[in-house]
Amino acid sequence: MIDFYSDTQTRPTRAMRESILDIETGDERHDEDPKTLELCERVAGLFGMEKAVFLPSGTMCNEIAIAVHCKPGDEVICTRESHIIFAESGGPAALSGVMMHPIDGDRGMLTPEQLSAAIRPRSSHAPRSRLLVCEQTANLAGGAIWPAEQLQAVSETAKTAGLATHLDGARILNAQVATGTPATTYASGFDSAWIAFTKGLGCPVGAVLAGSREFIEEAWLFKRRWGGAMRQTGVLTAMCLYALDHNVDRLADDHALARKIGTRLERMKGVADVLPVETNIVIFDLSPKLPEARDVASSLRARGITVTVVGKRRIRIVTHMGVGSAEAEILISALEELAG
Ligand SMILES: Cc1ncc(COP(=O)(O)O)c(C=O)c1O
């Protein structure tokens, strides 16, 4: 299959696999695994935060952050299309007993005014507005990049009102590579932030959550409680270190390929709209004259190509190190046949 379904479909390369052969390992839950300690220190530095913890998945980073920042009955403010709402199996409610307060943002982003309007005045009748969560890049908004000033402005609004702030930075390095703005700047108004290693960076497992010393101490409590404490994680974290050294700059290639696909889609008569392409995600809407997105996705699948259906007429294409120009041409030809 040619996989434009997600950047999670990357496979570890031979060089990445070889990077674990000669490493020393130890027990991560006793802070004895050298590669894991090194990775956590590097990611904490990348965000300008004090400490970090290695976790099996991005979902666990988000869910632990919510659990640490909130008490049951608190309210989490985020945009309606946030991963914590649409793809974490109701985790915030099930694990932390919080309420979600979704806001209709613009391309996955809020303004300080929208946030101010959403924060509830303190009252014993109302839930306590407690946490702001932002996503950099905004996945379902087509990998849109929050401008650093806007992230700063919303985090300041949140802080002034007494809320904690969490940044879902699954693809923050895509934003860093696309704009040249460092992750440290994007994360500067946030109490916690994380990056994924299983997406554009090409690793098989892993995400790292960063925050203050006290935050990470609390995060460890949930990591153990929820079964995320592991042992010789060096075999995973050495690959993450390899990815930080070798796979960050190349994200620019994924962005160029996504732009190329977006430009070609814009010319197709059967495509009603293409969201601006800023990173490695292309989201487009089919015109009402065409079959629905799931039928178009099935036709693509029959031609050996996978994409994601993200709405009745909406399809998502994601570029990553497992696809290149040749695969993009096959995808474009197939789409031209179906929607040209
Ligand atoms: C924006 C965003 N947040 C969180 C996640 C969850 O990451 P994981 O699949 O590692 O649980 C994803 C996964 O695609 C994502 O796109």
Tell me: the pLDDT tens digits for 288-334? 999 999 999 999 999 999 999 999 999 999 999 999 999 999 999 99
2 within a domain of the structure (yes/no): no
215 CA distance to ligand 1 centroid (A)? 21
Tell me, yes or no, whether 206 and 261 share the same domain. Answer: no
Q: Residue 196 CA: which ligand 1 atom is closest?
A: 10
Give strand pairing partners of 134: 167
Tell me, yes or no, whether 71 and 193 share the same domain. Answer: yes
Tell me, yes or no, whether 240 and 257 share the same domain. Answer: no
270 CA distance to ligand 1 centroid (A)? 30
* Residue pLDDT, tens place only, 161-175: 999 999 999 999 999
Tell me, yes or no, whether 199 and 180 share the same domain. Answer: yes
Q: How many CB atoms lie within 10 A of CB 170?
A: 26
Which own/partner contact pairs does 27-35 have at CB distance under 8 Å and 24+ positions apart?
27/231, 27/232, 28/54, 28/229, 28/230, 28/231, 28/232, 28/233, 28/234, 29/224, 29/229, 29/230, 29/231, 33/232, 33/233, 33/234, 33/237, 34/234, 35/233, 35/234, 35/237, 35/238, 35/241
Query: Six-digit token pair at 65?
Result: 């952050």
pLDDT of residue 340: 79
Q: Residue 62 CA: which ligand 1 atom is closest?
A: 4
Residue nearest atom 5 in ligand 1 by C-alpha distance: 58
CB 254 within 8 A of CB 200: yes
pLDDT of residue 26: 98
268 CA distance to ligand 1 centroid (A)? 30
302 CA distance to ligand 1 centroid (A)? 27
Half-sphere exposure of 106 (CA within 13 A, CB side): 8
8 CA distance to ligand 1 centroid (A)? 9
Tell me, yes or no, whether 223 and 303 share the same domain. Answer: no
* Residue pLDDT, tens place only, 6-41: 999 999 999 999 999 999 999 999 999 999 999 999
Tell me, yes or no, whether 179 and 286 share the same domain. Answer: no
* Residue pLDDT, tens place only, 67-94: 999 999 999 999 999 999 999 999 999 9
* Percent of the chain whose predicted confidence (pLDDT) is above 70: 100
Q: Residue 171 CA: which ligand 1 atom is closest?
A: 1
Q: What is the CATH number of the domain that holds 282?
A: 3.90.1150.10
Average confidence (pLDDT) over 146-169: 98
Tell me, yes or no, whether 154 and 271 share the same domain. Answer: no
Query: What is the C-alpha to C-alpha distance for residues 332 and 222, in angstroms, rounded to an integer?
Result: 45
Q: What is the CATH number of the domain that holds 24?
A: 3.40.640.10
Which residue of 10, 81, 145, 168 sits with most ligand 1 atoms within 8 Å of its CB, as the best mutation to test the pocket? 168
Q: Residue 60 CA: which ligand 1 atom is closest?
A: 11
- Who contacts 201 (Cβ-Cβ below 8 Å, separation ≥6)? 10, 173, 240, 243, 244, 247, 248
Q: Does pTM surpass 0.75?
A: yes
Q: Which band of pLDDT confidence, cut at 50, 70 and 90, is reported for residue 63?
A: very high
Per the prediction, the chain carries an average pLDDT of: 97
160 secondary structure, DSSP code: H
| Helix 325-339 / helix 251-266 crossing angle, nearest 10 deg | 20
pLDDT of residue 27: 98
Query: What is the C-alpha to C-alpha distance for residues 264 and 21, in angstroms, rounded to an integer?
Result: 43
Classify each residue of 300-339 as buried b or exposed e, where b means 16 or more C-beta atoms within 10 Å of its C-beta.
beebebbbbbbeebbbbbbbbbebeeebbebbbebbeebb
Tell me, yes or no, whether 225 and 258 share the same domain. Answer: no
136 within a domain of the structure (yes/no): yes
Q: Which domain holds residue 319?
A: 250-339
Tell me, yes or no, whether 65 and 206 share the same domain. Answer: yes
Query: What is the C-alpha to C-alpha distance for residues 265 and 267, in angstroms, rounded to an integer?
Result: 5
305 CA distance to ligand 1 centroid (A)? 22
Which of 195, 218, 246 is the last residue in one of the domains? 246
Average confidence (pLDDT) over 179-195: 98
Q: Which band of pLDDT confidence, cut at 50, 70 and 90, is reported for residue 115?
A: very high
Tell me, yes or no, whether 190 and 309 share the same domain. Answer: no
Which residue ranges have their beta carbon within 6 Å of ligand 1? 8, 57-59, 62, 83, 135, 139, 168, 170, 196, 198, 207
Tell me, yes or no, whether 203 and 327 share the same domain. Answer: no
Say if residue 112's pLDDT is above 90.
Answer: yes
Q: Residue 8 CA: which ligand 1 atom is closest?
A: 14
* Residue pLDDT, tens place only, 199-247: 999 999 999 999 999 999 999 999 999 999 999 999 999 999 999 999 9
Tell me, yes or no, whether 106 and 46 share the same domain. Answer: yes
Q: Which band of pLDDT confidence, cut at 50, 70 and 90, is reported for residue 157?
A: very high
Average confidence (pLDDT) over 179-205: 98
